[in-house]
Structure 1
Amino acid sequence: MPGEAVTLQLGPYAGSAGAHWWGLQAAALRRPAEAAELRSSALLRPAQAPGGREIHAPRLVALELKGGAGALRTGDAGAEAPVTWNGAVAAYLERGPGGASAAREEAASGSAAARGPAPAPSPLAAAQDVPSGSHVQLWSHHLNVQLHPKSLYVIRQYMHDGDCGCLEAFAQGEGLLQDPSCMEELEDRLHYFVEECDSLQGFQVLCDLHNGFSGVGAKVTELLCDEYSGKGILSWGLTPALSSVAVSRQWESPRTRRCSRAWCRWDGSLGAGCNGWVLPLQDSQRNAYRLMNTALGLVHLCAHSSLFCPLSLSGSLGLKPQPPVTFPYISYDASLSYHSSAILAAALDTLTVPYRLSSSQGSILHLAETLNFSGRKVAAAWASVPFPALHGSSLPDALCAHQDVPWKLLASCRERKGSSCFAQSVVLRGLGKDRPSSSSPGRQPRSPLHACESTERVLQRYLHTAFPGAFRWVTWLQVWGHWELQGEGVWDNSVPLLPYSTSHVLEQPCYTPAPYPQFFSPRLSRQGFLLDQAPTSSPAAVESIPVLAALQSAPVLHTLLYGLYKDLQKLNPRRCASFFSAGVEQDDFQEALHKLRTLAQCYETELEADGSEEEADSD
C-alpha cells in the first residue's frame, strides 16, 4: 500500500486553501469509520494530545511571512518547541471567554499571543462558529486543526501586508532559500516529517504563483527533486480570483470608463491587447509583476515536479482579466480568499483521492505518470462543486440531464467548445454505489448509462463517450526506451502499461461543516443534493456535498500557456526594471519564455498549430 505524503504550503493564498483542506479532512475523521474509503494516514499524522486524547495533525511544512500567521505564532523560528518532540501537539489558537470568534478578532488585531498548548476545538464549537467572510483576513482565522510545532516557519525578512517590505518578485523568493539559515530551517523541518514516515510516497506542494512565493516554490521543488529522487512531487500553483467589480473597473473600454484622466492614462507600450489604457503606475506594475511571477513560477515548478497543476477561479492569468468562474449552486465573493480558496480546497480534496484510497495501490507518482507523458507535465483541473444531482436520483439520471460534462475549468482560461483530452484522472464522490440506475425491472433502459450495473461502470462509459481519445493505452517500447502513444494496435516489443483515463467513485462526500463557508444555494439539502423547490423557511446548513473533479492533460492547456507567453511578449521590459533588479537576468527570463512556448506546443493540435502560425505571421 502506498505510504505517506508530506505537504508544503507556500504563501498566504496557499495557506488559505490548505486551512480549508485540513478542515475538510478533519470533518471526515469525525464521521463513522467503519466504511472509511480514504486513508487519513496518507496526509495526517496521529498523535496524543495533552490528556491522552488522540488527534490528527497535518504532515505539513508551511512557510508564511511576518504577520501572515496571526495568533499561530509570535516569535521567530528559534522560539518553537525543541526537536525532541514526544508526540504531543501544541494548539496555537487560544480560546478566550468569547469563544473562537473572540480569538479570531484578537488574532486579527495582532494582540494575541501563543501561550502554550490548548485543547482542540470541539465539533460542537466548530459547528456553532461560522466566521464572516469579510472578517477572515488570514488563513489562521479559519484553521480548525492543530499543527505540529515544527509545521510553521515564519519568514521574518518580509511582511505579509503593507506598502513596502513585501515579497513581491520571483527573485526575492529565490533569494530567500539561497540564504543558508533559511535553507537550514526548511531542511530541518522537512527532514523531521520525512524521517517519521514508514514509507514516503512523495510530496504535495501548494504554492502561490502570483507573488514572490513562486520563487520560493521554484527552490523548494528543486530541493525536493535533488534530495528525494524517485519520489512523486505534485505541485499546485494557486492564484486568487479577481472580483467581478475589480475586473469591470480595470478593463472597461475608454468610452464607458467612469474615471478622471488623473486616475488612468494612455500608454501604447503595452500593445493593442490592452486598448492602450493602463492602470496607475503602481497597479500597472503590480499586474506586470503578477504576470512574470506566474510565468517564472510555472516554468520552474513544472521542471522540478512530477506533475504541475495551476488552480484558480480567476478567468484569466493574462494582462486582460476575465470574470471569475461561476458555479450554479454557489454564491461566493471572488474578492474574498476565504471564499474562493474553499472551493479550490473541495476540488483538491477530491483530485487527490487516487493516492489516498484505502483499497488502491496508486501513489502520487502513479497519478503523475498517467498524465505527464510526452513532455506534458502540466494538468488542467476541472470540478463540479457541488455535483448537481436530485435527492434520490441515480448517477445516469444526473449525467443525462446535462448536454456537456457539468464541471468548470479551474485553470484561469476560457473553456474550449467540444471535449478533447489526451489523458485524465476523474473522481466522483458523494453518490451511493447501490443505486446506479432508476430503471424499473423488466423495462428497456432509458439510455446506455442506465444499463450499467454499477456507478463505476456508469462513469467509465460516460467518460468513454465524452472523451474517446483518452481511452487508449500507454506502452513502453523496450527497443528505443521512451514513451510511445499507441492507438488501436500494440507493437510486438511493447506491453500495455497505463490507461490514459482512470476513474474512481466514492460514497464518501466532501463534508462541509464550519468554518467552511455556507455560500450554497437554498435549493440544496443538508447532503448537498438538489431539492425540487427552494424551502419556504430558512434553509438548513449544508453538511456535505457530492463533487465531481478531474485532472486532464488536454489541448486547453495550449490556450493557457501560449496565451501567457503572448502576454509576456507585450510587456515593455523598461517598465519592469525593478522586477529584474531584484535578481532575474534578462537572458534567464527570455529562456523561461522559450520553455513556456515549448511547453505550450506539447498540447498543440493541428487546429491550434494553424492558429499559432497565423498569429506568428501577423506579428
Structure 2
Amino acid sequence: MAGWGREIVTLQCGHYSNFVGTHIWNIQESTFLYDENPAAVVSKEINHDVLYREGRTMTGAVTYTPRLVTIDLKGSLNTLKAEGVLYDYHTMEDIKWEGDVTLHQEKAARKNQFLSDLDTQGMQPHVKEEGTSNMDSQSSRESDTAEFKGQVPPVQVSPGQQQESKQAKVYSLDESIDVWSDFLHGHLHPKTVMVIKHHSHDSDVDPFGLYTKGRSLMGKRDVAEDIENRLHFFVEECDHLQGFQVLVDFCDGFGGLGASLIESLADEYRGKGIMAVGVAPGSFSSSTLAMDNHRLINSVLSFDKLSEQSSLFLPLSLASSLWRKVGLPVKFQNVHYKPSLAYHTSAILASSLDTATLPYRVAEEPISLSVLTEALGNLGRKVSMLSTSFPLPFPNRGYLASVFGNYTQRPPWIPLTPHTHEGTAQPFAQSVVIRGVPAGRIHAPGRQPQNALESCRSVNEMLRCYLTGMYPRTLSSGLCINQPLKTAAPFPHIFDPRMSQEGFMEQWQRREEEAVESLPMMTSLQTSPAAQEMLTHLVKEGSKVDIRKCHGYFEDGLERDEYIETLNRLEALAHCYELCA
C-alpha cells in the first residue's frame, strides 16, 4: 500500500507539550482497527506506521508504540515509570550486597479511576498466537496494540445504526489530573521518556522559566548525549525517515532547549522536514511583572530560532493574546471548556493538530512532510497558523451544504494562533482537512439544488467548491477523511449536553451516562497575512522590555546586542507577510 516506510519521529519538549502530545496519542490509538473476520474488507484511511513502530519484548510479545521522545523535568511523571512496563528487566533482583541496607520508602502516588481501571483490565502486551487469522501488516499491529491495552476496538457504524457493544464508561477526571501521565492510555517505549534531573517541575526555588536555562542544558554533556542516544535509536530503525514533528513549550525554559534541539536536528538531518509546533497554555496560574517579561522575552527568542531552524513553525494557544497581558480564551460554539485546565485546553489543540497533520499520515496518496512545509513556508514565510472548527458546526438536522452555506462571508473555523484573526485578507496558501461527515449528511435528499454547493455529490467535491468560492486567489489543497475525530475516554467532557454521541446537535440532551464519542471536524493549516500582526505585536512588546534589568538571562549568557538582533530578524520576518499592491 502507498505510504509505507515514510517514518516520522516525534519529540515533545516541555510539560504542556506533553499534555498536548498525550491527547494526540490517545486519539490515534482510539482509531486502531481490529478485524476479527479475515474475509471482511476494512478500510484503513490512516497509516499509523508513519508515527508508530512495531517491536517485541524480551518474551517475544508484540508491541506497537509511538516513535517518540518526550522531555520533561523531575517530578512530572506521577505514577508513570520513565522506563515503562513493556520491557521490565527487574534489575534490582540482580544486585548483590552484603553490607547494611537502609530502606527509604516513599508513599506511592495515587492513581485516578481511569488509570486504576486500565490496571484492572490488564494492560499487558499481546502475544500473537500460532494459527491466528491471516491479516495484513497494519491490521496485525493494530490488533496487538488494542489487545494488550485491554481496550475494545472501536466499531464503525452507519448513520442511524445502533451500536450494540457495551456502553463505554464515562469518567470525570477534571479534579484528578495533575500531570500528563495521569491520562495516558497506551504504553510508551523505554527509550521515550527522558527526565531532566537538573530542574524540578513546578519548583519555586529554581524555576525553569528562562529561555537561556534551556539553551544551557543542551551544553551539558549528559543531557545532550541522552537526547542523542534516544533519537538515534528511533531514527536508525527507520527505512525512509521523512522528518520530525516537534512540540515545544515556547514560554519557558523549554523554548531554549527545544530551539537548540531543532538546530541540532537541522544540522544532522539536512533535507528532512521539521514541523515545529510551539504551544502555550490558555492561562497561567500566577502572574507578576517579572513573569510577564520572562514570557515575552522567551517568546521573542523562541519565535526567532524555531522559525529559523525548522521547515515550518506553528505557534498555538487558546489564549487570544499571550505576552504583556494574557488575553481572553478562544470561544467555540457548543464547547464549554475551562481555560485554567491544561487537560481541557490541550485536548482542543491536540484534536486540531491530529486533524491538520492527516495529509502526511493518510494511507492513500499522502504528501510528504517536506512538501507540506515547503508549500506553506514559501518565500521565507516560515511562521504558519492553524484554524479549527471544533466541532464542524452542523445545525440541528442540518447538512454539510447548509454548513458551508452559512459561512460564505467568513470561514467556519477559529484561529488557534494568538494575536491573529480571520480578516478579509486571503491566505497565501492553506491545507484544509475535513473529517467525519457521514454520507447521509452531505445535502438534503430529494431537494432540488439551489446553488453550486447543493449540486455537489461528495464531501470532496463540496470542499473544493467551497474553497474555490471563498479563496479564489489562495493556493489551497483539500483532504477528506471519513473517519471522525475520536473523543472516547479519557477525553474531557467539554461538549454541550445537546450534542449527540456522534458530535451533531440535537433537540434533546444526552443521558448522563453517555459521552460524545466522535466529532466531525475541519482545520486549515495556512500561511496568512494575519501572521504579520502577530509578529509585529511581538516585536513591539519585546522592544519595550529593558533586557538589562532581567539579570537571569545575562547570567546564562544572553547579551543585549543578541536580543536586539533577534528583534530585528523578527521584524524582517514580519515584512515577508506584506501584501503586494
| TM > 0.5 fold call | yes
Residue 419 of structure 1 deviates from its aligned partner by 4.5
Residue 134 of structure 1 deviates from its aligned partner by 2.7
What is the one-letter code of the residue matched to 1:62? Answer: T
Describe how 1:521-600 pairs up with structure 2 within 5 A.
Answer: 521-531=496-506, 533-535=507-509, 537-538=511-512, 540-600=514-574
Cα separation, 2, equivalents of 1:501 and 1:357: 18
| Aligned counterpart in structure 1 of residue 466 of structure 2, from 449, 462, 468 | 462
CA contact (8 A) 1:419 1:467 kept: no
Matched, 1:321 2:334: no
What is the one-letter code of the residue matched to 2:570? Answer: L
Q: Per the alignment, do residues 222 and 536 of structure 1 end up closer, same or farther by CA in structure 2, a change over 3 Å counting? A: closer
Describe how 1:43-58 pairs up with structure 2 within 5 A.
Answer: 43-48=51-56, 54-58=62-66
Residue 420 of structure 1 deviates from its aligned partner by 1.7
Residue 524 of structure 1 deviates from its aligned partner by 1.0
Matched, 1:307 2:294: no
Cα separation, 2, equivalents of 1:27 and 1:379: 28
Q: Per the alignment, do residues 545 and 157 of structure 1 end up closer, same or farther by CA in structure 2, a change over 3 Å counting? A: same
TM-score w.r.t. length of structure 2: 0.83
Unaligned segments of structure 2, at least 5 residues: 36-40, 91-107, 127-146, 153-165
Q: Per the alignment, do residues 104 and 583 of structure 1 end up closer, same or farther by CA in structure 2, a change over 3 Å counting? A: farther
Unaligned segments of structure 1, at least 5 residues: 83-95, 108-115, 251-278, 471-499, 608-619
CA contact (8 A) 2:243 2:369 kept: yes
Match of 1:336 in 2: 341
Q: Per the alignment, do residues 191 and 8 of structure 1 end up closer, same or farther by CA in structure 2, a change over 3 Å counting? A: same
Describe how 1:235-384 pairs up with structure 2 within 5 A.
Answer: 235-242=276-283, 283-384=288-389
Cα separation, 1, equivalents of 2:424 and 2:513: 37
Matched, 1:73 2:84: no
Match of 1:614 in 2: none
Residue 240 of structure 1 deviates from its aligned partner by 0.5
CA contact (8 A) 1:126 1:514 kept: no
Match of 2:246 in 1: 205
Cα separation, 2, equivalents of 1:207 and 1:383: 20
Q: Deviations over 1:320-369 (max 9, x none)?
A: 22201011111011011000000000001001001001111401101111
Residue 454 of structure 1 deviates from its aligned partner by 2.0
CA contact (8 A) 1:5 1:59 kept: yes
Cα separation, 2, equivalents of 1:586 and 1:599: 20
CA contact (8 A) 1:221 1:301 kept: yes
Describe how 1:68-467 pairs up with structure 2 within 5 A.
Answer: 68-73=76-81, 101=113, 121-123=149-151, 127-128=168-169, 130-242=171-283, 283-390=288-395, 393-402=398-407, 403-433=409-439, 436-438=442-444, 440=446, 443=448, 445-467=449-471
Cα separation, 2, equivalents of 1:97 and 1:297: 34
Higher mean displacement: 292-301 or 96-105: 96-105
What is the one-letter code of the residue matched to 1:16? Answer: F
TM-score w.r.t. length of structure 1: 0.78
CA contact (8 A) 1:120 1:145 kept: no
Cα separation, 2, equivalents of 1:203 and 1:588: 28
Cα separation, 2, equivalents of 1:30 and 1:81: 31
Cα separation, 1, equivalents of 2:265 and 2:492: 34
Matched, 1:512 2:524: no
Match of 2:575 in 1: 601
What is the one-letter code of the residue matched to 2:466? Answer: Y
Instruction: Report the identity percentage.
Output: 36
Q: Per the alignment, do residues 131 and 207 of structure 1 end up closer, same or farther by CA in structure 2, a change over 3 Å counting? A: farther
Cα separation, 1, equivalents of 2:425 and 2:513: 36
Q: Deviations over 1:354-386 (max 9, x none)?
A: 100111140110111111111000111000111
Match of 1:265 in 2: none
Q: Per the alignment, do residues 439 and 128 of structure 1 end up closer, same or farther by CA in structure 2, a change over 3 Å counting? A: closer
| SS of equivalent to 1:463 | helix
What is the one-letter code of the residue matched to 1:517? Answer: P
Cα separation, 1, equivalents of 2:125 and 2:513: 37
Q: How many residues align structurally?
A: 515
Residue 102 of structure 1 deviates from its aligned partner by 8.2
Matched, 1:40 2:40: no
Cα separation, 2, equivalents of 1:537 and 1:44: 36
CA contact (8 A) 1:379 1:557 kept: yes
Describe how 1:1-12 pairs up with structure 2 within 5 A.
Answer: 1-2=2-3, 3-12=6-15
Match of 1:496 in 2: none
Cα separation, 2, equivalents of 1:311 and 1:291: 15
Q: Per the alignment, do residues 225 and 537 of structure 1 end up closer, same or farther by CA in structure 2, a change over 3 Å counting? A: closer
Higher mean displacement: 394-403 or 378-387: 394-403
Residue 407 of structure 1 deviates from its aligned partner by 1.0
| SS of equivalent to 1:418 | coil
Residue 438 of structure 1 deviates from its aligned partner by 2.3
Cα separation, 1, equivalents of 2:517 and 2:83: 37
What is the one-letter code of the residue matched to 1:562? Answer: T
Residue 518 of structure 1 deviates from its aligned partner by 1.3
| SS of equivalent to 1:71 | coil
Residue 97 of structure 1 deviates from its aligned partner by 13
